[in-house]
C-alpha cells in the first residue's frame, strides 16, 4: 500500500482527520514567553515546512496541501506559539475568506464566519470529532462563549481551515466550512512545555489578562502505553463601564466583564501491536463571567423596567463542557480503519425562569428559579480509507449522532437522532490530474433523508502551478429547539416569547469554486479563488404569530418563530500571498471581497447582515536575529449591513435602531508585537 500511495504523492502512512472590535483597548502586551521543559522527542514531531504542506481534513487522509480537494489554509504550531490568542476565533482572524469580527457576542468573544455565511454554518472539529451541538444551549447571543472550548495552545499541532462546504465527509453544520484542530500526539519520550502570557492595557479602565498553559507527554510503558496531559487557565480583569455621549451608563454594556476560564485534559494511548492503536481522551472546560452590574443580562429583581420581575439572569454566567471519547485505529493490509465514540455534555448556568415565560398562556411554576440548560451529544464515527488498484483511494464511513436538550423553560425534554453513511473516491486520472467524487446520506428522525454530493478536480499544471475547483452540496439541519411545537425560548431580557416551527426544512446549498495556486518553493506563494454559494430554505427569524399562524401560536398568540426564507446567495473572491522579501523579512497579505443577496417570495430583498464586502489583512515580519522576531500587522473590515434584508423593509425597534445609527461602519486596526527566544528552553 505504501508504494501505491507514494505514486499518488500521498504519504505512505494514511491517517484520518483524527463585540470587542468597536471597544477594543490598546494593549501593551507583555510576552512572558514559552518556558519549556526539555522536550526530547516531543520537540521533534516534524519539520515546520512539512507541517505547512500536509493536511488531512479535506479528504480524510494525509496529502499535500496543494493536492487537497478543497480551499484549505493551515495555521502551524509555530504561528500559534508566537502570537497572543484568547480563543479559537482569534487564531483564525488572518485567514482569507474568514471574518471573525462581524458579530461579536455578549461575552466579548468572536464568531467565525466563512465566505459571508453566519457562524452557525461553520463546523468545529477536534481531531476530526464534531464539537457543534444540536440544541441551542447558549440562547440570546452567547454562542461565542463556546469558541473558548479549545485545547491549550501548547497541545495543538496545527489548525486546518476549509473554506467551503464539507457536508459529504462531515454532515450537518459544515455548509460554510470546517475548522479542524489537530492536537499533538503522545510522544515516545517524555517532554512538555509551560506557557505564560500577560496583557496589560495602556488604559487603566480596561482589565488586564493573565494566562498559563501546560503540556506534557511521554510513555508509561515503552512501545505499549503512553500519556498526554494538557491544561490552561485564563483570567481577564473587569473593565470600567462605557458611558454614552450624554454621560449615561447602560447596564447592558460592551465593556468586557471579568472572566475566568480553565481547560484540563488527558489522553491515554495503548499500542498492543504495530497495527493497532487504542486511545481514551477526557477533557473538562469551565468558563465564568461576572454579571453583577447586569452587563450581560438584567439580573432578577435588580435591573430592567420592572424590578418586581425575574428577567432570566443571575449575577454570573457559567458555560461548562465535559467530553469523553474513546477510539481505535487499525492499520490493515488493505487500508486504515478509524472509529471513535464521543459523549459531550454542555451546559449554561446562571440563567433563570423569567416572569413573562408563560408556556400555554399560564405562569411558569418555577419563576425566578434556576433554568436548566444542558445538551448531551453522543457521536459514533467510523471511516475506512483504502487504495483500490493503482489510481483510486476510497473513503467510506458512517456516523450515528444522538442529541438531547434539557431546558427548564420547556414543558418536556427533546431529542433527535441522525445516522449517516458516506463514500468518496479520489481517482487519479493522470499523474497530475485527480478527480474526487463522493456523496453522503443523512437521515434525520424529524424530516427524513438528505443527500450531499460533491465533485472536485485538482490539476497540477506544473511543479509550481495548481488549478483546482469543484461543486458541492451543503446541508444544515435546524437546531433541536427550532422544531419544538410550542415555546422554545425567550428574548428581550425575558419579555418576548419564541416558539418552535415543526414545519422547518433543513437548509441546503449548492457551492461552486475555482482557484489557482502558485508556489515557487523558494519563499513566494499566492492563490486566487472565486466562489459562489446558493442557499435554499435559509432559516432565519421572521415568523410572527400576529401575521402568520402556526400550531404553537394557539397558546402564544404574540410569539415569534423561525422560518425558511426562499433563498440566499453569497459570492466573492479570495486572494492570499506570502512573499519572502529578504532572508529576514516576510510579508503576508490577504484580501476577501464578498457580496450577498436575500430572495424572499421570489423577489430580491437586500443583503445578509454582518457580511463585510471588503476584508483585508497584512503582516510584515522581521527576524532580526535567531532569537528576536518583530512584526507589524494591519486589518481592515469594510462596512456591513446591521440587519438582514432591505433596510426599507425594517419594522419596529430594528427600524428605529437603523434610522439612528445605520449600518456597521468600516474600521482599521493596527497591531505591533514580537517574540524573543531567551534560550533553548525559554
**Bridge partners (DSSP) listed for residue 442:** 420, 450
Calculate the average pLDDT of the chain.
85
Residue 483 covered by a domain:
yes
Residue 681 covered by a domain:
no
What pLDDT is recorded for position 84?
A: 74
CB 631 within 8 A of CB 678: no
Would you say the C-alpha torsion 425, 427, 433, 438 has a positive or negative sign?
negative
Residue 568 covered by a domain:
yes
Give which of 71, 170, 74, 173 is closest to 121, Cα–Cα: 173
pLDDT in tens, 396-439: 999 999 999 999 888 788 899 999 999 999 999 999 999 999 99
Confidence of residue 251 (pLDDT cuts 50, 70, 90): low
On the question of pLDDT at 50 being above 60, the answer is no
Q: Rounded distance, CA 322 to CA 301, Å?
A: 32
Q: How many other CB atoms are found less than 10 A from the CB of residue 679?
A: 8
Residue 199 covered by a domain:
yes
Q: Which of 22-36, 220-234, 532-546 shows the lowest per-residue confidence on average (mean pLDDT)? A: 22-36
Q: Which stretches of 441-485 are DSSP H helices?
A: none
Residue 380 corresponds to which cell in the numbers above? Answer: 459514533
Over residues 321-330, the mean pLDDT reads 97
**Structural domain that includes position 646:** 2-676
On the question of pLDDT at 183 being above 90, the answer is yes
Q: What are the Cα distances from residue 112, in Å, to 120, 143, 173, 511?
A: 8, 11, 13, 19
Q: Rounded distance, CA 473 to CA 438, Å?
A: 11
Residue 416 covered by a domain:
yes
Q: Rounded distance, CA 680 to CA 301, Å?
A: 57
Over residues 661-676, the mean pLDDT reads 89
With vertex at residue 232, the alpha carbon angle to CA 230 and CA 237, rounded to the nearest 5 degrees, is 175
Residue with cell 417570495: 601
Residue 329 corresponds to which cell in the numbers above? Answer: 485505529
- DSSP for 51-111, please give it: HHHEE-TTTSS-EEGGGSSSEEEEEEHHHHHTS--SSHHHHTTTSTTEESSSS--TTS---
Residue with cell 454579571: 291
With vertex at residue 89, the alpha carbon angle to CA 19 and CA 654, rounded to the nearest 5 degrees, is 35
What pLDDT is recorded for position 360?
A: 60
The residues, any chain, with a CB within 8 Å of residue 57's CB and separated by 6 or more, are 17, 70, 72, 125, 128, 160, 162, 166, 178, 180
CB 314 within 8 A of CB 373: no
Residue 135 covered by a domain:
yes
Residue 441 corresponds to which cell in the numbers above? Answer: 446520506
What pLDDT is recorded for position 103?
A: 66
DSSP state at residue 607? B
Confidence of residue 8 (pLDDT cuts 50, 70, 90): very low
CB 251 within 8 A of CB 294: yes
What pLDDT is recorded for position 10?
A: 35
- Dihedral of CA atoms 306, 310, 314, 319 in degrees, nearest 10, equals -120
With vertex at residue 130, the alpha carbon angle to CA 129 and CA 131, rounded to the nearest 5 degrees, is 115
Number of domains making up the chain:
1
Residue 629 covered by a domain:
yes
Compare 275 and 81 and report the one with higher pLDDT: 275
CB 645 within 8 A of CB 599: no
Q: Which of 18-27, 84-93, 378-387, 553-562 shows the lowest per-residue confidence on average (mean pLDDT)? A: 18-27
pLDDT in tens, 367-389: 889 999 999 999 999 999 999 99
Q: Which of 64-68, 435-439, 557-561, 595-599 shows the lowest per-residue confidence on average (mean pLDDT)? A: 557-561
What pLDDT is recorded for position 321?
A: 96
Three-class secondary structure of residue 555 per DSSP: coil
We report the CATH number of the domain holding residue 162 as 2.40.170.20
pLDDT in tens, 503-558: 888 889 999 999 999 999 888 999 999 999 999 998 887 788 888 888 888 777 88
Q: Which of 11-25, 244-258, 392-406, 479-493 shows the lowest per-residue confidence on average (mean pLDDT)? A: 11-25
What pLDDT is recorded for position 243?
A: 60
- DSSP for 367-423, please give it: TTSB--EEEEEEEEEEEEEEEETTTEEEEEEEEEEEEEEEETTSSS-EEEEEEEEEE
Residue 507 covered by a domain:
yes
Amino acid at each position: 500500500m505504501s508504494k501505491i500511495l507514494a505514486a499518488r504523492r500521498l504519504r505512505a502512512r494514511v491517517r484520518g482527520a483524527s463585540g470587542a472590535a468597536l471597544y477594543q483597548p490598546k494593549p501593551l502586551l507583555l510576552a512572558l514567553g514559552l518556558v519549556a521543559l526539555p522536550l526530547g522527542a516531543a520537540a521533534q514531531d516534524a519539520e515546520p515546512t512539512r507541517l505547512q504542506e500536509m493536511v488531512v481534513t479535506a479528504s480524510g487522509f494525509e496529502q499535500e496541501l496543494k493536492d487537497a480537494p478543497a480551499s484549505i489554509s493551515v495555521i502551524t504550531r509555530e504561528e500559534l506559539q508566537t502570537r497572543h490568542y484568547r480563543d479559537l476565533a482569534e487564531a483564525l482572524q488572518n485567514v482569507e475568506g474568514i471574518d471573525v469580527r462581524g458579530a461579536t457576542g455578549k461575552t466579548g468573544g468572536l464568531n467565525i464566519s466563512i465566505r459571508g455565511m453566519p457562524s452557525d454554518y461553520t463546523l468545529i472539529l477536534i481531531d476530526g470529532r464534531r464539537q457543534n451541538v444540536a440544541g441551542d444551549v447558549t440562547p440570546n447571543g452567547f454562542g461565542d462563549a463556546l469558541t473558548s472550548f479549545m485545547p491549550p495552545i501548547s497541545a495543538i499541532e496545527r489548525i486546518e481551515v476549509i473554506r467551503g462546504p464539507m457536508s459529504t465527509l462531515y454532515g450537518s453544520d459544515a455548509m460554510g466550512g470546517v475548522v479542524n484542530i489537530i492536537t499533538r500526539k503522545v510522544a515516545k519520550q517524555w517532554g512538555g512545555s509551560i506557557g505564560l502570557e500577560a496583557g496589560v492595557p495602556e488604559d487603566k479602565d480596561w482589565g488586564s489578562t493573565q494566562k498559563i498553559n501546560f503540556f506534557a507527554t511521554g510513555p508509561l510503558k515503552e512501545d505499549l502505553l503512553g500519556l498526554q496531559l494538557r491544561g490552561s487557565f485564563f483570567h481577564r480583569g473587569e473593565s470600567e463601564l462605557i458611558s454614552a455621549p450624554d454621560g449615561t451608563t447602560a447596564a447592558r454594556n460592551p465593556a468586557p466583564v471579568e472572566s475566568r476560564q480553565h481547560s484540563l485534559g488527558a489522553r491515554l494511548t495503548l499500542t498492543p501491536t504495530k497495527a493497532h492503536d487504542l486511545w481514551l481522551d477526557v477533557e473538562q472546560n469551565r468558563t465564568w463571567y461576572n454579571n453583577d452590574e447586569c452587563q450581560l443580562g438584567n439580573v432578577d429583581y435588580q435591573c430592567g423596567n420592572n424590578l418586581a420581575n425575574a428577567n432570566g439572569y443571575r449575577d454570573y454566567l457559567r458555560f461548562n463542557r465535559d467530553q469523553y471519547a474513546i477510539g481505535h485505529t487499525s492499520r490493515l493490509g488493505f487500508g486504515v480503519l478509524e472509529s471513535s465514540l464521543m459523549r459531550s455534555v454542555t451546559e449554561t448556568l446562571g440563567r433563570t425562569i423569567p416572569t413573562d415565560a408563560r408556556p400555554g398562556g399560564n405562569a411558569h411554576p418555577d419563576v425566578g428559579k434556576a433554568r436548566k440548560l444542558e445538551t448531551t451529544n453522543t457521536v459514533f464515527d467510523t471511516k475506512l480509507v483504502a487504495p483500490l488498484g493503482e489510481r483510486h483511494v476510497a473513503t467510506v464511513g458512517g456516523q450515528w449522532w444522538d442529541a438531547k436538550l434539557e431546558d427548564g423553560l420547556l414543558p418536556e425534554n427533546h431529542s433527535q437522532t441522525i445516522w449517516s453513511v458516506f463514500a468518496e473516491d479520489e481517482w487519479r486520472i493522470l499523474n497530475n490530474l485527480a478527480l474526487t467524487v463522493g456523496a453522503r446520506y443523512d437521515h434525520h428522525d424529524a424530516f427524513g433523508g438528505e443527500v450531499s454530493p460533491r465533485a472536485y478536480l485538482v490539476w497540477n499544471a506544473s511543479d509550481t502551478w495548481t488549478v483546482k475547483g469543484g461543486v458541492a452540496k451543503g446541508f444544515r439541519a435546524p437546531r433541536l429547539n427550532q422544531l419544538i411545537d410550542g415555546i422554545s425560548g425567550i428574548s428581550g431580557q425575558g419579555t418576548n416569547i419564541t416558539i418552535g416551527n415543526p414545519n422547518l426544512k433543513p437548509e441546503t446549498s449548492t457551492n461552486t469554486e475555482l482557484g489557482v495556486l502558485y508556489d515557487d518553493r523558494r519563499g513566494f506563494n499566492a492563490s486566487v479563488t472565486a466562489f459562489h454559494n446558493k442557499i435554499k430554505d435559509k432559516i432565519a427569524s421572521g415568523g410572527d404569530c400576529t401575521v402568520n399562524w402556526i400550531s404553537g401560536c394557539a397558546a402564544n398568540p404574540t410569539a415569534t418563530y423561525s422560518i425558511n426564507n426562499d433563498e440566499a446567495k453569497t459570492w466573492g473572491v479570495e486572494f492570499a500571498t506570502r512573499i519572502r522579501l529578504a532572508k529576514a523579512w516576510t510579508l503576508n497579505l490577504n484580501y476577501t471581497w464578498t457580496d450577498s443577496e436575500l430572495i424572499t417570495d421570489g423577489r430580491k430583498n437586500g443583503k445578509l447582515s454582518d457580511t463585510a464586502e471588503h476584508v483585508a489583512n497584512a503582516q510584515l515580519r522581521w527576524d532580526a536575529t535567531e532569537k528576536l522576531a518583530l512584526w507589524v500587522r494591519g486589518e481592515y473590515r469594510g462596512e456591513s449591513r446591521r440587519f438582514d434584508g432591505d433596510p426599507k423593509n425594517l419594522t419596529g425597534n430594528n427600524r428605529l435602531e437603523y434610522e439612528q445609527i445605520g449600518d456597521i461602519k468600516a474600521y482599521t486596526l493596527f497591531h505591533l508585537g514580537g517574540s524573543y527566544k531567551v534560550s533553548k528552553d525559554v
